Structures are given as structure tokens and as C-alpha cells.
Copies of this chain bind each other. A is one copy, B any other.
Amino acid sequence: MITRKGQATRERIVDAAATLIGQFGVAGTSADDIRKTAGVSGSQLMHYFGSKQALVRAVIVRQSESEASVGHPMLGPLDSFRALRGWADAAVENLAHGSGHGACTLAMLAGSTSPGDEQTRDELCSAFVRLQSRLLEGLRAMRDRGDLRPEADLDELSMALLTALQGGTLLGQAMQSSTPMRASLNAALHHVESFAA
């Protein structure tokens, strides 16, 4: 059982870790840097997170929640062509202004996870599955409503939207530009729209 105060401390640590990882990468961020930024003691850090890897996994969970809403929880369900375009615009906007360069993203976390670190890879995999589910849910509602033709392969379409978001983030951060995100999401959305009833 974790107290409310304990929960706040835990969140402060995860926030500090995400901020530092965004600026310096996973490898460039030490447990001690995180401890200092969060303003907690070494024993507090150890109490909540037994290892740096456990902390990175908590950052993955937090980041997947934020990417599911692309920082705009008010966007609501992604269950119309208009909502999907709004989601894509928010992702481009998000990358262009502030949170893209020097931001902690799932794309960056995925690229820096060591192939041998199975636990972290599992957490990443679950994060991607959750993101895809959110997209899939919206597409299913669109098909049920008759906006999408019955033969549309919704698993493939939701995965195409997710890879476009991640590929656009990865290239956008490397090239410091929102052009890759715009191109990737535009192609994926165009593909989804080609199944309009």
C-alpha cells in the first residue's frame, strides 16, 4: 500500500528521470542525477525503484500514457476521420514546439534499450500494444458506425498509424524537424481514408 505522499514522491522521481533522459539520453543519465533533480535521498530512490532499469520502465509507462493522448487528453476518442486528423496535427505540433527536441519519447527509449534487457523490452512492447489498442478502438467504432468499409484490416491500419507516429518522432528528433512526422502521418491517414465507406 503506497500513501498519497509516497505516490507524489514516486511521481516526482519519474518526472525527473523523464526530463533528464530527454536531455541526455538513457545512457547519459545516472541514478544520482535523477536523485538530485527530484530532491530525494539515495535510500528513498532505492525504496521506490530498486534499479535504474526499473526507473526506465516506469518512464516508459508514463510516456505511453502521454503519447496515447499526445499531450491533449481533451482530444477524446479517436473515432472519426476528423479526430484522427486532429490527433496527427497535435503530434506534429508537439514535435515542432518544445516537446520534440530534447524530449523523452518512446521512440528514443526503444532505440536505447539494450537488446538483451528483456524486462525493459517487454515493458516497451506492452506500451506499444496499449497505444495500438487505443487507435484500434477508434477505428472499430468507425467501422461499426459504417464510416469504414467492412473489409478494412483494422489491426494493420492501427499499426500503420502507430509506426508512423514512432517513425516520425525518431526522424523528427534526429533531423530536428517536423517534416518527417507530417509526411509519415499524412501517408498513414491517407491509407486509412482510402477505406472510407
Footprint of B on A, CB under 8 Å? 22-28, 101-102, 107-116, 121, 124-125, 128-129, 155-157, 159-160, 162-168, 170-171, 173-176, 179-184, 186-188, 190-191, 194
Contacts and interface: CB of A to CB of B under 8 A. Distances in A.
A160 B174 contact: no
B170 A162 contact: no
A23 B115 contact: yes
The A interface, classified by DSSP as helix, strand, loop or mixed, is helix
B125 A175 contact: yes
Given A27-B112, A116-B24, A116-B28, A160 B187 contact: yes
Contact of A109 (B111, B184, B187): B111
Contacts of A27: 26-27, 112, 114
- Residue of A23, A156, A187, A188 with most partner-chain B CB within 10 A: A187
Contacts of A156: 182-183, 186-187
14 contacts: A25-B113, A27-B27, A109-B111, A115-B173, A125-B175, A156-B187, A157-B187, A159-B183, A160-B183, A162-B180, A163-B164, A164-B184, A187-B191, A190-B190
